[in-house]
Structure 1
Amino acid sequence: MNETEPLDHSVCKATVRPIRDALDVLNGKWKLPIIVALTFGEKRFGEIAKEIDGITDRMLSKELQDLVANGLVRRTVEDTFPIRVTYALTPHSQSLNEVIESLRKWGILHRAYLVNEEK
């Protein structure tokens, strides 16, 4: 953006709207860690809970329901005894790979920045 050009509020709104849409789907501190855990393969509820430190079963259940509703996670119920429920990423969730990798890299950079700031 050139600083000499007048501000175009329609461009700003067109930029903010899709970012808000994405944040509405991925809001909170648990959805992305759940997605990352599932990138390593299909898992049962208890397996996901063990991989994500600090998440309660209630919160994991709520977040999985949201991710299923938004088409990012597939919930499969197998008609066995006992019933087996598994969770896996959908093909649509693959569209987040670049975002997750960028966030991972930025997180490493930011942690290093904070450590250097403390000195």
Structure 2
Amino acid sequence: MEKEIEPIKECSQAILAIHDVMDLLSGKWKVSIIACLCYQKMRYSELLREVKGISGRMLSRELKELEINHLITRTVLDTQPVTVEYEITEYGSTLKNLTSTMAEWGMTHRRKIIGK
């Protein structure tokens, strides 16, 4: 009987871990920001241009949350005017496989539903 409980416990732990990820990456923008930064460091204005539809205020908020969670770093460069660059951390780069898998699945799903 104990062997039947183990898969349920394992499933519960997996669901809890998935909820943690969903809470961390909640919203419409964080995954897109992380995906951009997995390929190269970017300035604030580049991210604003690349992440279509995000407002400046929302980008600032999302970047702060990602920095708090140690997924990105913020570097202020000594330039005129001041330039701020964002870069994925080593810890944050562990999400690259996740974002790639999501992108591949999304393209497959789009082709299936839309037929393109």
Q: Deviations over 1:52-109 (max 9, x none)?
A: 1100001100000011011111001124443221111111112112111111111011
The structure 1 segments of at least 4 consecutive aligned residues displaced by more than 4 Å after TM superposition are 5-8
Partner of 2:66: 67
Q: Which range moved further: 78-87 or 98-107?
A: 78-87
So what's the TM-score if we normalise by structure 1? 0.84
Q: Which 5+ residue runs of structure 1 have no aligned equivalent?
A: none
So what's the TM-score if we normalise by structure 2? 0.86
CA contact (8 A) 2:66 2:72 kept: yes
By how many angstroms is 1:11 displaced? Answer: 2.4
Superposed CA RMSD: 1.8
Name the count of aligned residue pairs. 112
Percent identical: 37
Give the 3 Å change call, closer, same or farther, for CA 40–10 of structure 1 in structure 2. closer
CA distance in 1, matches of 2:63, 2:110: 28
Q: Which range moved further: 69-78 or 33-42?
A: 33-42
Partner of 2:104: 105
Q: Which 5+ residue runs of structure 2 have no aligned equivalent?
A: none
